[in-house]
Structure 1
Amino acid sequence: MSLDDEEPLVLPDSPQYTVIDSNETSLLGRLLNPDCQSIYRMIEYMPTAWRVVGRVKGIALSRDRWNSSPPDDFLSTLEIWIRIRNIPVNNFTSQTMHTLASEIGHVEEIAYDPKVSHTKEYIRAKVTFKVDSPAKATRKLSIKNGGTVTIECDYEKIHKRCFHCLRLTHEKVRCPLLRNPAKLQQASDQGRAQKQSSQSLVLAKTKG
């Protein structure tokens, strides 16, 4: 009998062999860019950042609660604030802002009140962002006169991204699209097809 034929080891069904109960108040997280981020340094730093030195051990990097049976998409999203610039004055409405923010992720909040003076050159929106998606910095918007404007988007507290595919999970020197010519060609073909099918975002006309 080979080692592969051995029966798998079975642990006793006892609380001594699990951490489910002891981790009920724990937080779980993930590194966005593990090639450039040290989990050990983060574990040492986070208690200081959260002002809980001496009261915790082993800190995770997001505020998702402990889950003994996490779903497939667990820790695959994060809530971030974005700043949207260059919205045309004739389209400066909450619905326009919501449409533009939804291009980045699921919209949780638009920090804009049409009844209050607006003094910033941008509007802020909180979105749930999929960490494996590109963090797009610009988006073309069709306007009523037949032209287009370039909408710009900044990501608050997001300092690094791949400058080729715009994802947060690696830097350009480790971009899998650049290291794999087949993937690069596939992404290029998909990009051209998407560009041909929809040159720019068009605001839908709704009945008043």
Structure 2
Amino acid sequence: MSRFGENNGKGIKPMVRTIRVHAFNNSDLIRRLKRTTIIGRIMNPDFQSVGSLVLMMPRVWKLEGRVVGKDLGLGTFRFDFEREEDILEVMKTEPFNFNHWMVSIVRWEPVIHKDYPSAITFWVKIIGVPRDFWTDQDFRRIGNELGTVQEVDEENARVKVTIDSTMPLCFEMSVQFETGGEEVVVKMEYEKLFGYCASCFSLRHDEESCP
């Protein structure tokens, strides 16, 4: 093997070096980023441009001059705010979309993972649950199969759920109630959903690009 790595038949592949970064006290930096920064990822680079998103979102949020966006590469970006109050107002408008595809945007956390961030929070209407089972417990049980339940709206048969956008969307499931009776097929309607594959329900490509 040369120092450039193996020839895999498709050209020379560079070797990947691994280095170790020593621990240091970055607690002040972490506190500042958690207070002033949001981080995000586009879902479909074929239809979404990070550069365009970074330019457009401050206008959408009506925060021109009060927020600075940066392209972090690999489909990710960050926005730095002058005021935490503005972040709180922006996060109230989730879920986010750009150019008719979804975007994951979260408050910055010190997470090291290749898919970070991947969380998207939806209100999901659950259709088909018998009316006598419209309880917080039953809706929460169904919602937990979709992701992490943040809130339950019993009156309107909805759950607010944070999903992992690397996983396919779930649009229906069978539910067996412990009191007996037949299994019930319930369906999910994701509010403010834009762009997904009609074949595999991925948020990260369209049907023409489905593997």
One fold, TM greater than 0.5? yes
The alpha carbon displacement at 1:53 in A equals: 0.7
CA distance in 1, matches of 2:148, 2:210: 26
Corresponding residue for residue 126 of structure 2: 84
Residue deviations 1:158-194 (CA, integer Å, cap 9, x gap): 1211111111111111112xxxxxxxxxxxxxxxxxx
Q: Contact (CA 8 Å) 1:106, 1:127: kept in 2 or not?
A: yes
Gaps of at least 5 residues in structure 2 are 5-16, 18-28, 71-77, 79-102
The alpha carbon displacement at 1:3 in A equals: 7.5
Q: Contact (CA 8 Å) 2:152, 2:158: kept in 1 or not?
A: yes
Matched residue SS, 1:161: coil
CA distance in 2, matches of 1:63, 1:93: 29
Q: Contact (CA 8 Å) 1:26, 1:66: kept in 2 or not?
A: no
The alpha carbon displacement at 1:63 in A equals: 3.0
CA distance in 2, matches of 1:175, 1:64: 30
Gaps of at least 5 residues in structure 1 are 9-19, 113-117, 177-208
Corresponding residue for residue 197 of structure 2: 162
Corresponding residue for residue 101 of structure 1: 143
Paired letter, 1:171 = D
Residue 49 of structure 1: which of 60, 81, 85 is its match?
A: 60
Paired letter, 2:124 = I
Paired letter, 1:40 = G
**1:148 to 2:183 alignment:** yes
**1:125 to 2:159 alignment:** yes
Residue 116 of structure 2: which of 74, 84, 94 is its match?
A: 74
Matched residue SS, 1:75: coil
The alpha carbon displacement at 1:74 in A equals: 2.5
CA distance in 1, matches of 2:63, 2:203: 28
Corresponding residue for residue 27 of structure 1: 38
**TM-score with structure 1 setting the length:** 0.63
Superposition RMSD on alpha carbons, in Å? 2.9
Residue deviations 1:121-178 (CA, integer Å, cap 9, x gap): x4121112011111111112235554232211111211211111111111111112xx
**TM-score with structure 2 setting the length:** 0.62
The structure with the largest strand share of the pair is 2
The alpha carbon displacement at 1:34 in A equals: 1.6
Q: How many residues align?
A: 153
Matched residue SS, 1:135: coil
Structure whose alpha-carbon radius of gyration is higher: 1
Corresponding residue for residue 106 of structure 2: 63
CA gap 1:148/1:46 in 2 versus in 1, 3 angstroms: same
CA gap 1:26/1:90 in 2 versus in 1, 3 angstroms: closer
Q: Contact (CA 8 Å) 2:176, 2:183: kept in 1 or not?
A: yes
Structure 1 residues 34-43 or 159-168, which shifts more?
Answer: 34-43
CA gap 1:96/1:58 in 2 versus in 1, 3 angstroms: same
Matched residue SS, 2:121: strand
Corresponding residue for residue 210 of structure 2: 175
* Identity rate, percent: 28
Structure 1 stretches of 4+ with a deviation exceeding 4 A read: none
